[in-house]
Amino acid sequence: MKTILTATAACLILGACAQTKDIRDDFNRPAGFRIDDGNFGAATLNNSRIQSGQADIAINLGRRFASEVNTTITFPFNSTALDETARATLRQQATWIKQFPEVRFKVFGHTDLVGSQSYNRRLGLRRAQAAVIYLTSQGISRSRLEAVVSFGETRPAVSTSEMERRNRRTVTEVSGFVGNHPSVLNGKYAQVIFREYIGSAVPETDVTAATGQ
């Protein structure tokens, strides 16, 4: 028992010494460094990095695109046909894409595991091309869209060798910026936010109709 009490006391003393050392170290550090865990003032820091091109804006926009829009459409077996559900999803994607004319997108084509790998890669690519063609019909410049990569059957959403519609899909993702560098925004990120704000406003005609003025 005496040994245990001695060991416990020793641990407490060492802990107190370590805490005293931390306090001494803190004295020589910038004020407030302990409370800034990376979140304090993060909005200002993030804006500064975006304005200077230091942050990977493409990743941030990619996450936002994936959270706000359905990025995936599916296809019938051995087909590149777009049904109404797929077209509705692509129209939703096109609406989002139009908000950011500075951003480029890539469409990845996938298949299920039925059929040979070489055939499925070609089929996946044709599906990606079908999605791109439809997006361009919605007013998106072809120069901002890529359908040059297909994962074929190598990245199934559902691991099965059977026919599975969820694997027969395309996925649209942010791939970069027009001009190949985030500095294409060149301090205009605030303009992008303002553009979205104006675009989300209720049209004046609707306000007039609702108020009768």
Closest C-alpha among 173, 134, 176 to residue 155: 173
Over range 65-92, report the average pLDDT. Answer: 96
Architecture of the domain spanning 55-211:
2-Layer Sandwich (3.30)
Domain edges within the chain:
55-211
With pLDDT > 70 as the criterion, what percentage of the chain qualifies?
57
CB neighbours of 30 closer than 8 A, spacing ≥ 6?
A: none
87, pLDDT greater than 80: yes
Q: Which residues contact 66 (CB under 8 A, 6 or more apart)?
A: 173
Name the one residue in this structure whose structure tokens are 């609702």: 210
* Of residues 48 and 70, more confidently modeled: 70
Phi, psi values for residue 172, rounded to 5°: -100, 130
Binned at pLDDT 50, 70 and 90, residue 213 comes out as very low
Q: What is the pLDDT of residues 146-170, one digit of tens each?
A: 997 788 888 888 888 889 999 999 9
Distance, in Å, from the CA atom of 36 to the CA atom of 32, rounded to the nearest integer, reads: 7
Mean pLDDT confidence for 17-26: 52
Q: Is the dihedral of CA 84, 86, 89, 94 positive or negative?
A: negative
User: Helix 42-52 and helix 189-199: axis angle, to 10°?
Assistant: 110
Whole-model pTM: value is 0.62
Residue pair 105/145 in contact by the 8 Å Cβ criterion: yes
